[in-house]
Copies of this chain bind each other. A is one copy, B any other.
C-alpha cells in the first residue's frame, strides 16, 4: 500500500474496481453487525456474575438500614465512601443514585434552567444559554443541549484537552456561556486525557457568568488498558484551590464496571452543591435503589478491588483495540487517506477520513450490514463541519466479527477516498454513488 494521492488515475480506477468487488462480497454475506455504541461485551458483563448473590437473605446496610425499604436519598454511606475514594472526593461530596449518570446530568440542567444553580443567580432558562462543546465529543451530551435549546459552541479538542486559549477567551467575554462538557479521561471519542495544565486552567479561568459550571463526565475514570494509567488531576480540588469550589459537577457510573443497564450512577461536587442537589432530589424521589448499591459495595468491598476488576475488563478490551489498530495500520498506514487515535483506555477509537467522506463511509458500511455511530454524531447538532470524524466502538463484537466489520470499514474508507480523489482530479464535487444491489455486479 502506498500514498493513494500519488497514484495515477488509471491505477486508482483499477483499485476502485477491485475494491468494489470486495465490497460486494461483503454485501453478499448479509452481515448484521452493530458497532454504533460503546457497549461492554457479554464476557465483560460476566465478570460481575454473582453481583446479587445473597442480597435477598442479607439486605442490611452497615448502619442497619433495610435496603429493601424507602429512604436514603444520597446513597448508602458505604457506597458514598467507596466511590468517593475512587473519585478522590469526600463521602459528603458525592451522591450515589440510580443506574444513569446521563439522567443526573439531564436533570441537573433541567433544574438549572428552571431554578439556576446556586440560589443566587437567575434561572438559566430566563435568558439564552450557551454551552461549550469540545469536539469531537459525546453525542448524548450534545443531545441534552439541543433538547433544552442550549446553543452549542464547538471548541476544538486537542491532545491534552479543549483548546484552552479559545475557551478562556470565550468564557471571559460571554455571560450566556454557562457551561462546558468535558469527558476528561479517555475522552469519547478521541481517547485523550486532559493534562494537569488544562485542568488547572479550567478551574482558574475567569468566567463572565458567575454561575458557570463544568460538567465533568468522568465516565472512563478507571477504564485503562495500560499498567501505568495516565493520571487525571483532581478537578474538584483544583476548583477549591482556585476559589471556585462550586464550579464543577463530576459524573461517573459503574455502567462499564458492572452492568451497563443496571449499575450505579454518581455525581460529586462541593458540599454546598451536593446539599442543594440533595434537597432538590428529595422532591423528585424518596430514594435510589439501595439494594443495588449494597450489592455493589459487597461485590467490590474496596477501591483496590474495583481497580483489579477493571484490569479484567482491559484483558477483554485491549485485544479488540489492538486488532482494530493493527488492521488500520496495515491497510491504511501508508495511504494518507485517514488518521486515527491510539487510546490508552476508554471505549472508542476516533477515526478521521479525508474531508467530506465520513457520511459516505458510514452509509456504505451500513448498506453492507455494519452499523457505525452516525457520522457527525461526535459534533454539536450532528454536523461535523469537515465531515470526516467517525467513532469506532470495538468493545461489543466478538473478535472475528470485529475483524470482518473493520475489513469492510477499511474497504469503504478506501473506496470513498478514491472516489473523492478521482472526483477532485476531474474537477467535480466529490460524490459517490453507491450502486443499487442489482447493478453492483457489472462494476
- Residues of A at under 8 Å CB distance from B? 37, 39-40, 42, 45, 48-53, 55-57, 59, 66-72, 98-100, 102-103, 106-107, 110-111, 113-114, 125, 140, 143-144, 147-148, 255, 259-262, 280, 283-292
Contact = CB atoms under 8 A, between A and B. Distances in A.
Contacts of A57: 49
A51 B57 CA distance: 10
A59 B50 CA distance: 12
A123 to B, nearest CB: 9
B259 A68 contact: yes
Contacts of A260: 68-70, 286
B285 A106 contact: yes
Contacts of A261: 67-72, 286-291
B39 A49 contact: no
Given A125-B114, A283-B147, A99 B288 contact: yes
Contacts of A291: 259, 261-262
A50 B45 contact: no
Nearest to A40: B69
A54 B283 CA distance: 35
Contacts of A106: 283-285
A264 to B, nearest CB: 10
Given A99-B98, A262-B290, A289-B98, A283 B69 contact: no
A292 B262 CA distance: 8
Contacts of A98: 98-99, 289
A79 to B, nearest CB: 13
Contact of A262 (B48, B68, B114, B147): B68
> Copy number of this protein in the oligomer?
2
A57, A106, A143, A255, most chain B CB atoms within 10 A: A106
A39 B285 contact: no
Contacts of A113: 114
A143 B280 CA distance: 11
Given A102-B286, A261-B291, A56 B51 contact: yes
A124 to B, nearest CB: 11
Nearest to A51: B56
A284 B265 CA distance: 13
A440 to B, nearest CB: 32
Contacts of A40: 69
Contacts of A37: 70
A260 B69 CA distance: 5
13 contacts: A39-B69, A49-B56, A67-B261, A69-B259, A70-B261, A99-B289, A102-B286, A106-B284, A114-B148, A147-B280, A259-B291, A261-B286, A261-B291
Contacts of A45: 59, 66, 68-69
Nearest to A98: B98
A144 B70 contact: no
A283 B50 CA distance: 31
Contact of A66 (B42, B52, B70): B42
Given A100-B285, A106-B284, A50 B56 contact: yes
A61 to B, nearest CB: 11
Contacts of A103: 284-285
A248 to B, nearest CB: 21
